[in-house]
Amino acid sequence: MNQAEQDNHWLKQTLNLSQAAVDAGNHPFGALLVIDNKQVLKAENTVNSCHDATRHAEMNLVSQACQNLSESQRKEAVLYTSTEPCAMCAGAIYWSGIKQVVYACSGSELNDIAGKSLICHSEDVFTGAVNPPSVRSTQSQLLIEQACEQHKKYWIEDWSCL
């Protein structure tokens, strides 16, 4: 499997986690951590169920990673997420030492759909940082569309989320 195929495989799993978050009454975001092309941790958004605005999927995942993985393991990890990390999550990713982030739906796309985003791209958070993580979007237009479709369904079509 080449890198693009690996990315797509793991990003599909984040979309499943995103749907699981919605099914549990939360916002549509999912993330997982991969080391040596093996999933080691996963998390979904729990903002509503925990009554805590900081319980984004990436924050939940970073907390698990810091508690369960060594610094050297985190440096080898790739964080896959259904949507580009917000500024808060990007900061936590940086401080955790995770070195790569791959996402499907961009922050700009989310803002176009939901209109409720603080637009600050992950790369902007890392400007000036020493040894920042690499951040990239999937090259799969289909996965981008699927991730955006989850957000459209949640933020536009499902009025119960408002």
Check if 58 is active-site: yes
Whether the Cβ atoms of residue 43 and residue 30 lie closer than 8 Å to each other? yes
Give the 3-state secondary structure of residue 14.
helix
User: Which of 117, 59, 66, 130 is closest to 90 using CA atoms?
Assistant: 59
- H or E element at residue 64: helix 57-68
Q: Which of 44, 58, 84, 109 is catalytic?
A: 58
User: How far is 41 from 32, CA to CA, in rounded Å?
Assistant: 6
Residue 73 CB-density burial (10 A; 0-12 exposed, 13-18 middle, 19+ buried): middle
Structure token pair of residue 17: 């986690």
Residues classed as catalytic? 58
